[in-house]
Amino acid sequence: MKVKGVGASAGIGIGKALKYHTLTPDLSSIVTETPEQELARFEKGSVKFVEEMRRLYAKTEKKLGKEHAAIFDSQIMLLRDVELQEKIRDAIAAGSSASQAVYDVTQYYVQTLGQVENPLIRQRAADALDLQNRMIKILFGMQDTLNLQLTQPTILILDELTPSVAANLDTTWIRGIVAEKGGFHGHALILARQMAMPVILGLEDAMMVLTEGSLVAIDGISGELEDDPQEESYQEWKEKERDWIRHQQLLASFKTKKSVGKDGRAYKIMANINNVEEAGMAAEIGADGVGLFRTEFLFLGKSKIPTEEEQFQAYRQVSELMKGKPVTIRTLDVGGDKPISYLHLPNEANPYLGYRAIRYGLEHPGEFKIQLRAILRAGAEHQNLSIMIPFITSVEEVMRTKQLLEECKCELDQQGIPYEKDYRFGIMIETPAAALMAKELAKEVDFFSIGTNDLTQYVLSCDRSNTNVAGIYSVFQPAVLRAIKMTIEAAIQEGIEISMCGEAAASAPMIAVLAGWNLTNLSVGLNSVWYVRERVTNVSKEEGIALADKVMQAVTREEVMKIVKQK
C-alpha cells in the first residue's frame, strides 16, 4: 500500500512500524481541592517540569549541542513568565484546579500563535502546546517520556510530533517518523532535521491505517510512504536509502568549505532565522552570516511589547553567537499574516495591503524607537549588526526611518550608552513600488535584500496562501524576474550590496540566473545552507549570463521553466 503525506524532513527511512500515542488526560475527571492545595500541586508540578526540561536539555546538548538544547530552556522561560504565572495563580484562586488553570492559560498562547496565517509563525503554537501537555501530565502523575526499548530499525508512527518526543528519539534504531499532526516549522521538526531524521507529516489516520509491526518505507522529501513493500519495491527503497546516505556525506563536507563558484567567484550563503537558538544553529552549520533575523517572534505570545532590554539581550546574543559574521536584523514586520493582539491593529478587508510593517512603525515612533535603540546597542561589541526595514514603498518611508535612527543615536549619546555607530542600513525589496523606485532608494541605503515571497505575491496580485491561484504564483513568472533584474541593476549601479532572502534563493535554477546578474549573496533556511553552497560550486558567471539572457527573452512561465530545466 502506498500513501502520501507532506515531506517535512528529508531522508529515506526503512523499518518496522511502531505506534506511539501522545496521551492527554481527561480534565473532566479532575476532583478540585482547595485553592491552597491546588496551588501547592501547581508549584510542585512546576519544579518537576523544570527538572524534566533540564534532563532533556542535558540529553539534547550531548547529542546535538547547546544551541539545540536551548529549545527546552525556552519552555522553562515560558513557564516562569511573570504574566503566565499570575494568570494561573489567579485562576486557581478563583476555584480552578491546577490542571484546568494550566490548560486555560496556556491555551491562550496556543490560540494566539495558532491563528496566525503565516505557517512559519503559526507552528510555534506547538511549543506552547507541548508545555501545556507536559505540565498537565505531570499534574496527573503521568510519565511524559519516550522510553522505547528497541532492537531493530523502526519507523515511529505518532498522532503528533512534539519537541519532547523528538528529543528522546533513539537514533540508533529509529529510522524515520510519520505523524498525523505536527508543526512544519516547529522546534520538534528542527530537532528531527538536525538528527537527519526523515519525517512525514499530515498523514491522516496513520495511527489507525498503518499496521503495528509491518515493514514501512518513507521518503521525507516527497512525503511518500509504502507499507509492506514487496521484494522488488523493497530493493528499490534500499537503493534510494544508499543514495541518500552518500548525498548527505557529500553535503556535510560543505560545512567548512568556502562558498565559491566554479569560476572562483566568492559567494555569501547566509541563514534566515527566527530566534536566538536558530542563530546558534546557523553558526554550527557554518553559515556565512545571518541574512534575515525575523524579529516578530520576540513579540508573539506576549501581552505587551518586549522592553528595550529584552530585545537588546536577544539581538546581542545573536551577534555573539555569529562570532563576527554579519547579522541582518529585520525590524518588526507586523500585520498582514502576522497580527499581534496587543498592538490593536484594525480589522482590514485587505490586511496584506494595509496597516503593516514599516507603516505601523512610523505611526508609532515611540514603539519603533525601542527596537531601533535595542539593535544599535546590541551591535556595540562585535560591530556586525545591520538594520533592515520591511515593506518599503517610498523614499519618504526610508528618510523618516533614518531620522528616527538619528534621534536614537542622539539619545544614546546623551545617556552615555555605547552603540554601533557604523551600522549598515538597508531595506527589503518586496513591493512593486520598491522595485520601480530601486534607483532612487539605492541612493538612501547601504544595501537591498530581495524578499521574493512577497515580491512575487504583489507583482502578480496573487495571494501565496490561496490554493485556488497556486498555479499563478511563481518567482519564474517573467514579470517577477524583470522586477528582480531591475532591482539588482539599480543596486549595482549605485554601488550598494544586494542579496536575496526569499525561498527562491535556494532554487538551483534561480541561483544560476542570479549568477548572470551578479547577485552572489543568498540567505536561505537553515536546512538549505549546505545545499546552496554545493549548488554555487557548479555555477559560473559566464554560464549564468547566457542563461539569464535566454530567460529574459521568454514571455511565459512555461517558456522560462523550459529554459532553466535545460541548464
- Helices in 391-472 by DSSP H: which ranges? 395-415, 432-436, 438-442, 452-459
Please spell the DSSP secondary structure of 378-404, one letter per residue. Answer: HTTTT--EEEEE-S---HHHHHHHHHH
- Cα separation, 560 vs 512, in Å, equals 13
- Cα separation, 432 vs 490, in Å, equals 14
Query: Which DSSP category does 565 fall into?
Result: H
**Nine-digit cell string for 366:** 515611540
- The catalytic residue among 68, 408, 462, 501 is 501
- Cα separation, 456 vs 466, in Å, equals 13
Residue where the block lists cell 512500524: 17
Residue 462 known to be catalytic: no
Angle at 519 between CA 515 and CA 524, to 5 degrees: 100
Q: How many CB atoms lie within 10 A of CB 264?
A: 8
Q: How many CB atoms lie within 10 A of CB 110?
A: 20
Whether residue 205 contacts residue 180, with contact meaning beta carbons closer than 8 Å, is answered with: yes
**Nine-digit cell string for 482:** 524583470
- The catalytic residue among 21, 185, 187, 247 is 187
What sign does the dihedral 367-370-371-373 (CA atoms) show? positive
- Give burial (CB, 10 Å; 0-12/13-18/19+) of 83: exposed
Residue 187 known to be catalytic: yes
Query: Which DSSP category does 338 fall into?
Result: B
Q: Give exposure, 6-44, as e/b (b: 16+ Cβ within 10 Å).
A: ebbbbbbbbbbbbbeebeeeeeeebeeeebeebbebbee
**Nine-digit cell string for 163:** 519537541
Catalytic residues: 187, 501
